[in-house]
Homo-oligomer: A and B are copies of this chain.
Amino acid sequence: MNYKWNKLAVHKEPPQILRTKLQLPIKTLMSPGPTNCSKRVLQSLQNQILGHLHPEFCMLMDEIKEGLQYIFQTNNRLTLALSASGHGGMEACLTNLLEPGETVLIVKSGIWSERAACMANRLGANVKLLETDYTKGITLKELEIALEQHRPVVVFMVHAESSTGVKQPLEDFGVLIHKYNALLIVDVVASLCGEPFFMDSWDIDAAYAGSQKAIGASPGLAPISFSPRAEKKLFERKTKPSSFYWDLTILGNYWKCFGNEDRVYHHTMSATLLYGLREALAEIAEEGLQALWNRHAAAAVRLRKGLELRGLQSYVKIPQYQLSTVISVQLPPGVVDKVVIQRAMEKYKVEISRGLGPTVGKFLRIGLLRVNATPEKVDLVLRGLDEGLKYASESKL
């Protein structure tokens, strides 16, 4: 054929870099996420693509919605998975629940609350921070003082601060915040399925997670749930959310959350990622949420004991604030984090993470998430840590 565009024939050649065969290592991911996927989840990913409104696809969405309601422990009808990373969940909560000029109170517990403040500022909200010392959660009293002072319409808290390993207790916070007519958004990215979480019993209005942590699916989806109270705010907004992509009134229609007969197209979801999330949720349904929480707790106990035996300090000292999913370990004086991490990876193909935010440079972070929250994986990461620390001490000499 003689194409009209031949005068503009391809001028850029295919890159050589793509001529190689895809070859990927298999690692044990003991960072705060992503974690490894189970064989069942990985196998599901290779299923052929389906259209985003096919009956089988819609059935998967229904199954996933029920699975998400189960892991959030909620009856919220507005429960779905966003086509985005956990950060998308954060932005979706703030974008849907804040109008320009409204006040949001952010409990500054580490890097994720800083990110939330950055997002809320961009949305034109009036951002107030409640500072913490990073090593523990805040109390109801501390929050109440800030509520009195700032009278926010939204409070943002992180359940599992993965930059430090702090768990923020949440019981009774929802009730208090509602007394002040505010809504409570909680980041459960690093806790959902790994720590007890009760969206309904704890009166939480909006929560979001990431598919790649204790849920155990591929990265790329952000489960999210809104309470009836949050839904009300959503539908009574004076302005439309600045984003169509995050607009939960339209996404809720696609996920058939509002009792609507037909699904309304919003965007093309990834069939691949839905397959994996469906299988991860099916595994959780089989194991049972309580058993899964207990497995994470037991792995954390084993890891903490191992660290104690080695004389290694945790960033979070007070037990009630210690997460089971992410544990920050202090580096011995003079030991460089990167050296330890590289050695553990070389020797055992096991991933340990650097510190982040408040823990950067002085701590390592170990994640115990889903398939890796087992005694065997705890022992492996301890071997990796031993090897890394030994190597780092020797290389100092």
Q: Please, how many angstroms separate the alpha-carbon atoms of A286 and B69 in the complex? A: 45
Name which residue of chain B comes closest to A111, CB basis. B265
A66 to chain B, nearest CB (A): 4
Q: Does chain B have a CB within 8 A of A311? A: no
Q: Is the CB of B14 within 8 A of A37?
A: no
Most interface-central of A19, A95, A273 (chain B CB within 10 A): A273
- Size of the chain A interface, CB-CB below 8 angstroms: 106
Q: Please, how many angstroms separate the alpha-carbon atoms of A70 and B14 in the complex? A: 6
Return chain B residues, CB-CB under 8 Å to A124.
Answer: 242
Q: Is the CB of A19 within 8 A of B218?
A: no
Return chain B residues, CB-CB under 8 Å to A240.
Answer: 121-122
A289 to chain B, nearest CB (A): 5
Q: Is the CB of A17 within 8 A of B66?
A: yes
Q: Is the CB of B49 within 8 A of A271?
A: no
Q: Is the CB of A243 within 8 A of B242?
A: yes
Q: Please, how many angstroms separate the alpha-carbon atoms of A90 and B268 in the complex? A: 13
Copies of this chain assembled into the complex: 2
Return chain B residues, CB-CB under 8 Å to A88.
Answer: 83-84, 245, 267
Q: Is the CB of A123 within 8 A of B242?
A: yes
Q: Given known contacts A29-B51, A88-B267, is B201 in contact with A8 (CB within 8 Å)? A: yes
Q: A22-B282, A27-B50, A34-B51 are in contact. List 5 more A-B contacts (CB 8 A).
A: A1-B298, A14-B70, A19-B282, A34-B49, A124-B242
List chain A positions with a Cβ less than 8 A from chain B: 1, 3-5, 8-15, 17-19, 22, 24-27, 29, 31, 33-37, 42-52, 54, 56, 62-63, 66-67, 69-70, 73-75, 83-88, 91, 95, 115, 118-119, 121-124, 171, 196, 198, 201, 210, 212, 218-220, 240-245, 266-273, 275-276, 278-279, 281-282, 284-286, 288-290, 293-294, 297-298, 301, 320, 351
